[in-house]
Structure formats: structure tokens, C-alpha cells
Structure 1
Amino acid sequence: MIQLRSGNITEQRVEALVNPINCHGMLEPGPALQFRKAFPANFVSYRRACRLRKIPLEEPYVVPLTPEEKDRPRYIFNLPIKRTGRRPAQPENIRKGLAALVRTCRDLGVHSIALPPLGMEPGGLDWDSIQKILTDAFAKSGLEVTLVHPAQES
């Protein structure tokens, strides 16, 4: 089941949040910036892992959290969907990354996740393409998925 919501992804009440990243540690605008502000330790861990070349494309880099509140997430799944921030994500990288994400959720006993629309940066994929990729990836996963669009700014 996929629910659509708008707002800040880091404020969602789920077990895990998905942070779309690249393999080089380049901070990009959008969700990655929201994650850096809300979870600075995650950003430090991610950058360190990038420098040590421990972030393979399409494999979630998991950062466990110590929830201060009962409804806060237990994990951040940093999902590399492209090698660098200079080029848009490719659909096949997103598909493979989501398959690995579903496996990681099963391994860790996670039942609910929130993620932004992956690959929709300027020059990237359109909404119809993203929606099909997400629907296919999560159709039989048993996960409660919240797809979070950024809040509209005036």
C-alpha cells in the first residue's frame, strides 16, 4: 500500500525513512538537505562512508537511530540511486535500489517506510515513470509505504 502525503519527510511517523543519496557524498537540494538538518549524525556517517568508498550503488546504507519519542523512526536508509550528483538517476538503478530496500526492510523487521519521489530532480524522471517503478517495487512487499512530496513553498 502506498500513501501520498506532502510535507517534510523527516517528520513522518514510520519505522524508517529513505534518504536518496549519491555515492560521492555530494549534498543535493531537496530531501537530502532536510535529512542533514534533522539528522546531522546521519550526514556525518554517510560522508565518512563515501570517503572510504563503502557506499555501493543501489544498496541501502543503514544508519540506526535512537528514537527519543515512541513514534520516531528507528532507521534511516540512505539509498544511493546514482553515482554522482551531476547526472539524473536512471530507472534501472532506482528499481534495483528499491529491490534491495525491500530486502533490507525484511531483514530488519521494518514494516513502514517513508520516501520522497526518487529520481525527480530537474532533468530526471517524470511522475508517471516514478509512480510505476514504486508501485511495481512495493506491490507484494507487505510494507506500508508513504510517498512524501515536498511541501509547496509560496
Structure 2
Amino acid sequence: MIEYRRDNLLEADAEALVNTVNTVGVMGKGIALQFKKKFKENFKAYERAYKRGEVEIGKMFTFPMNRLTNPRYIINFPTKQHWREKSRLEYVREGLDDLLREIKRLDISSVAIPPLGCGNGGLDWETEVRPLIQEAFAHAPGVRAYVYEPSVTSGPVAISTEGPKPDLTPARAVMLDLIAAYKASHYTVGRLVAQKLAYFAQVAGEDSLSLEFKTGKFGPYADELRFLLQTLEGHYITGLGGMSGRSEIELLPGAEREAEDYLRDHPDTEGHLERVAALIEGFETPYGMELLATVHWAVAHKGATTFEEALRIVQDWSPRKGDLFGEEHVAVAWEHLEEAGWMPTRSVVR
């Protein structure tokens, strides 16, 4: 279970605190410097481990505090090689795999995690690191993860909502229903997830959306959806924010019921939405939704006819996707689309 925070990680009441480090024995900036000042014995142990060649990418260096109160462990997480370099997304991915192994080995039930590789590391929180952390801890539901967002991350920007409440249309009701169904499982809906929900609804046959999807940075993208959601903002939803920065869409009171009532006379639409809900089960994170939609797009619009072709298209999409989506996860998405009967044989989105 993930809980996002913006207070002081070093004061977190967690069994383990995660510290981001390099592999050359230096804690000179950012949160690593704070750890060095507060937990001096951890730094000495880390420095000795570096000299022995034991601080490596993809491998946690864990320092036991040898006490009964929290924190009981400091887990040093390498996100870069040299302190002068930028962090790399593949280092974060490899490290998260080992972090989960270490949590299991030590039977840790709570852990505080900084924005791995962001800030001085140069990685983007919203589009790169946050999805990876969400994906990793989806496989550790018994662990309480206190995830500390970058202090520069601002909340959603309010959008002016002057004017009368717009009437519902099939497309507006569909988006409200998709958002409600996704949030029913206690997952966050941002702009990226909303795009993928709309994409799969349209692939399922929901013609009312009439969206023109194109190849975007984060997978299939339709710019018209932005205007549809802005129409709903302040009347049926809140938290959309502007074009950049964080968004966290919430339904306003009564919006879900209005959408349900509107769609009651549209049985075909309800069938489309049920197909989408069945498809995305188990993929309800920004990472999972982007992965699933990107693999589908590779087949439907890029001509992939084999897994190997789809993998190449996904990883050649952009350096970001090449770093973010490894072969194992692309294979999981491919197999899921096949088993669910969603693997297209031709372009299915207008």
C-alpha cells in the first residue's frame, strides 16, 4: 500500500528509510547529504562498502541500526554511478527489484522512499519514477510504502469553471463512468490514465467518443480528450489541472450517479465499458496502462505481427520507453491482450 507524503522523510515512522546514493562513496548533495549528517554510522559503513567494491547498481546496501525503535534499517539505493552523473531510469528499475527482495528478506512491513533519481538526479517524477514505484509496490500489498514526492511537485491547478453546468452527452457520460470504475479500486486517475481509458473504450467500440488518437510520448494520445475533460472540470470532476504538472481527477458529488442514469438507456455502451474494465484488471497504474496501450498500438497501428516486432517498436518508441518497458513486462502485456481477445488484426481506432 502506497501513501504519498511531502513532509520530512528522515522523521518517518518506518522500519526502513531509503537513501539514494552513488557507487563512489560520496554523499555530497540532496537527501544523501541529509542522511550523512543524521546517520553518521550508516555513512561510514557505506564508505567502507564502497572501498570493498560492494556498492553496485541494482544492489541495495543495507545498514542495520541495531535498535528496537524505527528506523531499524537504512537502505542505501544506488541511482547513479558517479556523483557527477545523472541518474538513469534502468538503475531505478533494477534497484526497485532488489529493494523488494531486501524488504522480503528482512520481513520489513513499512518503508519510506524518496523520489528516486529525481531532483539532482534529473529524472522526471510524474512520467518516469512515480509509475515505476507504483508498479513495483503493486506486487507488495502487505508493505506500507511512504513515498515522498519532490518538493517542487505542485498540486493540480484549478481551472476556471464560470458558466452553467454543461449537459451530459454520451461521450461525457462515458468518461465519467470510466473514471468512476477505475477509482472504485482506489487507484488515482491523472491525464495519462484518462487517455488510456478513453483509448480502450474506443477500441472496444464506443463510437461516441470520436477521438483521433495519434502516436504520443506516453502512448496513444488524443488531444480532443483534453477539451472534453476541461468541459467536465468544476461541474462533474475536479483536479484536472492545466496542461502540465500533476493531475489527480476526482468525481464531484452526484457525478457518478448522473452518468449511470444517463447510460442506463445505452446497453451497448455498458457492454463496451465492461470490456474495458475486464481488460485493465491488474494493470491499474499509470505504468501498467501506458504499457498495455503502447503494446496494443504497436500491433494495431505499427504493424507488429509478432512479439519480437512489438517489443522492438515499443523500445524504439523513445529513449524513455526503451528504459521504462523491459522485455518481461512487454511480454506480460502481449500475453494479456491475446488472452483477453484484444489483439487486433488491423487498425481499429479511427
Whether these two folds match at TM > 0.5 is: yes
Q: Alpha-carbon deviation of 1:87? A: 1.4
Q: Alpha-carbon deviation of 1:95? A: 0.6
Amino acid at match of 1:125: L
Q: What pairs with 1:90-105 in structure 2 (closer than 5 Å)?
A: 90-105=88-103
Q: Alpha-carbon deviation of 1:121? A: 2.5
Q: Alpha-carbon deviation of 1:99? A: 0.6
Q: Alpha-carbon deviation of 1:151? A: 6.0
Which structure has more relative contact order (CA 8 Å, sep 6+)? It is 1
Q: How much is the aligned-residue C-alpha RMSD, in angstroms?
A: 1.7
Amino acid at match of 2:7: G
Decide which moves more: 96-105 or 45-54: 45-54
Amino acid at match of 1:110: I
User: Which residue does the alignment assign to 1:29?
Assistant: 29
Moved over 3 A (4+): 149-152
- Aligned partners of 1:111, 1:28: CA distance in 2, in Å? 30
Q: Do the aligned partners of 1:5 and 1:148 also contact (CA within 8 Å) in 2?
A: yes
The unaligned stretches of length 5 or more in structure 2 are 153-350
2:28 alignment partner, SS class: coil
**Structure with greater helix share of residues:** 2
Q: Alpha-carbon deviation of 1:123? A: 6.2
The alignment's TM-score, normalised by the length of structure 1, stands at: 0.90
Q: Do the aligned partners of 2:60 and 2:99 also contact (CA within 8 Å) in 1?
A: yes
1:36 alignment partner, SS class: helix
- Aligned partners of 2:53, 2:149: CA distance in 1, in Å? 30
- Aligned partners of 1:123, 1:139: CA distance in 2, in Å? 24
- Aligned partners of 1:9, 1:37: CA distance in 2, in Å? 14
User: Which residue does the alignment assign to 2:66?
Assistant: 66
Amino acid at match of 1:106: K
1:24 alignment partner, SS class: coil
Q: What pairs with 1:1-154 in structure 2 (closer than 5 Å)?
A: 1-67=1-67, 70=69, 72-122=70-120, 124-128=122-126, 129-142=128-141, 143-149=143-149
CA deviations 1:40-68 (Å, max 9, x no partner) are 00001101111221112110001000236
Paired residues, number: 150
Q: Do the aligned partners of 2:59 and 2:77 also contact (CA within 8 Å) in 1?
A: yes
2:98 alignment partner, SS class: helix
% identity of equivalent residues: 37
- Aligned partners of 1:43, 1:88: CA distance in 2, in Å? 21
1:103 alignment partner, SS class: helix
**Structure with greater strand share of residues:** 1
Amino acid at match of 1:54: E
Q: Alpha-carbon deviation of 1:28? A: 3.2
Larger Rg: 2
The unaligned stretches of length 5 or more in structure 1 are none
Q: Do the aligned partners of 1:9 and 1:148 also contact (CA within 8 Å) in 2?
A: yes
1:76 alignment partner, SS class: strand
Q: Alpha-carbon deviation of 1:149? A: 3.8
Amino acid at match of 1:51: K
Q: Alpha-carbon deviation of 1:135? A: 0.6
- Aligned partners of 2:27, 2:71: CA distance in 1, in Å? 22
